[in-house]
Structure 1
């Protein structure tokens, strides 16, 4: 099998898609990445990413990007304070190291920059919001929202949790996890949320109580990312009638729903420098399967989205990229390579999804804090 003479299109320029592009370019492949963002300067939302040695870091090592990673990672960002809803600290990585050193953290923006700069010029085609594709000759004709079209012999979907390309491979529907998060980002945190900023000490806070959670992390640009977690109905975001662009309404919601939480956490919604996005959390059936195609597959959240309560999302996507690139570059038959990759990926995703969902459920029970403490005690043994 010679994939080097094929036109390969990767839909989605997140960590998984860009890592795959880098690895395939190293193998001499002709790659284009189609990304919906307008340009490389688009702000990347979300908290820091902790990369694991056996997955995210392994992919960067194969891509010859470990030095660049360690030149940009945040040494203190992985240091954790585990707290309750009253503001009491139960575990503190700033005084006693637990597992932070095994999972170095990096901002999403710098990681994206490292991956982008590793690619050949014009690899990424910006402002390319995928709309549809249809079979053409031995490949696919792709259509984008801006009206442009292109042909590819091989298509790989890496377009995230709300993938528009996944339905061309699988009709499996995502299942609501039972938990919805309110994701926020606060710029210039030292000025806008000074108490929270000092409490974080450049690291992160996991707080649990009353069947709810608040996760906070310090970013390298001086901002703080956070998300609240709460068990609500699947359609709560719609049915609540809250305008999540109206900070007054969001503050009123938090004051009511998190009324039993210490005032320190309420500082998050006292500032008008916070951006808010509500996100119901979903996952796929652990036993999901689909019929392998000979020129199309998917990776990352497009294949196996799950809640963030095991820290595996980006690591799974980057490991997918590593394993798929090896399958494509070393296999003798592309369909067989895809079939072997998908089987291995789905087996791995099944186990991680089960773990993630156990964490998601347990952390949003009344004893969520104790569950987390027990987990860290197990790590330290």
Structure 2
């Protein structure tokens, strides 16, 4: 039986960031993930400069042999209306492929790893957590996404009581013919909001890779909205007429009404396992990275791993992202004052789509990057 100070379940951006942040702290950690890396990950895949800054990623180095699509413009509209295109005058984000990005982050940590190892059993014994009867630790950190097994041990865990945002998307490498037929440009992602403002769709080109998807808070209408959107994009030439494969689905919680408990005795959750996706955009990468760094700071300083000692992490999350119940209302959230019929007019405004939708909701430019040693 291998014994560690902590075991991190999930080796995505949250888990690998936490592991790397704890290196040199004296804490002996183990990273476990059910999949081998690199692995496919359903995600639109863009990160802001603040994420790259926080992670101390050298853009020139990262761009060698990996997809790194500079984003300078956004094309935004409401379904059924003409889109508005805004030039931001410089690079405001980067398109990445999660299979590459996650593998890169994982490769930077020297923390011991068990990849391709699903968590089958979790047992509490003598103040430790026993995983698969092969390893144990007094602290178990959940970084395994929405259905993380660690999240099931805290509070009510995942279930029907939660309002889940469901998304479906596809990412593929276009043929030469498809690339020529695709009018979407790499430096200009397209965001299309549903008329009821309960979700949005996107078309995002990254070099010869194309990512298309749609996310909504009401899962039962997801396929219907997606099919309608895809057909419209094909008809207008925004995407190729022949899409390969099937759209893959995933789910996540928005921070405001997720309501998941973040800590318990010997337990802590970060990233999507904690339900930290931004309320207006559904973005989860930046919250995952920042929650991992906040958790690392608490773990380094905590006198023990009791819920009382770990609560400092919950306090740090509230300070960084706001107190739940005060962020906004419900669903893929927009303030009451933008609700129909005003929304259609606002989505045709260059000022609103640039200053509010893009720079505030999606890029969070008003929020400074979190220092890596926070």
Give the alignment's TM-score, normalised by structure 1.
Answer: 0.74
Question: Contact (CA 8 Å) 1:175, 1:285: kept in 2 or not?
Answer: no
Deviation at 1:205, TM superposition (A): 0.9
List runs of 5+ in structure 2 lacking aligned partners: 361-365, 367-374
Q: Which residue of 2 aligns with 1:118?
A: 108
Q: Which residue of 2 aligns with 1:376?
A: 354
Give the alignment's TM-score, normalised by structure 2.
Answer: 0.75
Deviation at 1:41, TM superposition (A): 3.0
1:150 equivalent in alignment to 2:143: no
Q: Which residue of 1 aligns with 2:128?
A: 139
In 2, the alpha carbon distance for the partners of 1:161 and 1:134 equals 21
In 1, the alpha carbon distance for the partners of 2:143 and 2:230 equals 36
In 2, the alpha carbon distance for the partners of 1:65 and 1:193 equals 29
Q: Which residue of 1 aligns with 2:211?
A: 225
Q: Which residue of 1 aligns with 2:370?
A: none
In 2, the alpha carbon distance for the partners of 1:349 and 1:182 equals 26
List runs of 5+ in structure 1 lacking aligned partners: 243-249
1:101 equivalent in alignment to 2:72: no
The one of 24, 43, 50 aligned to 1:46: 43
Aligned residues: 345
User: What per-residue deviation string (whole Å, max 9, x for no partner) do you get for residues 303-355 of structure 1?
Assistant: 11547742541111111111111122234444354110122224544558835
Deviation at 1:78, TM superposition (A): 5.3
1:213 equivalent in alignment to 2:191: no
Taking a change above 3 Å as real, the CA distance of residues 278 and 307 of structure 1, as seen in their structure-2 partners, is farther
Q: Which residue of 2 aligns with 1:288?
A: 259
Deviation at 1:79, TM superposition (A): 3.1
In 1, the alpha carbon distance for the partners of 2:262 and 2:82 equals 51
How do 1:246-261 residues align onto structure 2 when only pairs under 5 Å count?
A: 254-255=227-228
In 2, the alpha carbon distance for the partners of 1:262 and 1:271 equals 9
Deviation at 1:155, TM superposition (A): 1.1
Alpha-carbon RMSD across the aligned residues, in angstroms, is 3.9
Question: Contact (CA 8 Å) 2:71, 2:91: kept in 1 or not?
Answer: no
Deviation at 1:91, TM superposition (A): 1.8
Q: Which residue of 2 aligns with 1:168?
A: 153
Deviation at 1:21, TM superposition (A): 0.8
How do 1:1-381 residues align onto structure 2 when only pairs under 5 Å count?
A: 6-37=4-35, 39-51=36-48, 53=50, 56-57=51-52, 59-61=54-56, 68-69=61-62, 74-77=68-71, 79-85=73-79, 88-93=82-87, 96-97=88-89, 101-120=91-110, 123-143=112-132, 149-172=134-157, 173=159, 175-176=162-163, 180-188=166-174, 190-192=176-178, 194-196=180-182, 198-208=183-193, 210-211=195-196, 213-219=200-206, 222-229=208-215, 232=218, 234-236=219-221, 254-255=227-228, 263-264=235-236, 267=239, 270-279=241-250, 282-283=253-254, 286=257, 288=259, 290=261, 292-306=263-277, 309-310=280-281, 312-335=283-306, 336-346=308-318, 348-350=320-322, 354-355=327-328, 357=330, 360=333, 368=343, 370-372=345-347, 373=349, 374-378=352-356, 379=359
User: What per-residue deviation string (whole Å, max 9, x for no partner) do you get for residues 52-86 of structure 1?
Assistant: 52xx345413xx76775576673523532224546
More helix by share: 1
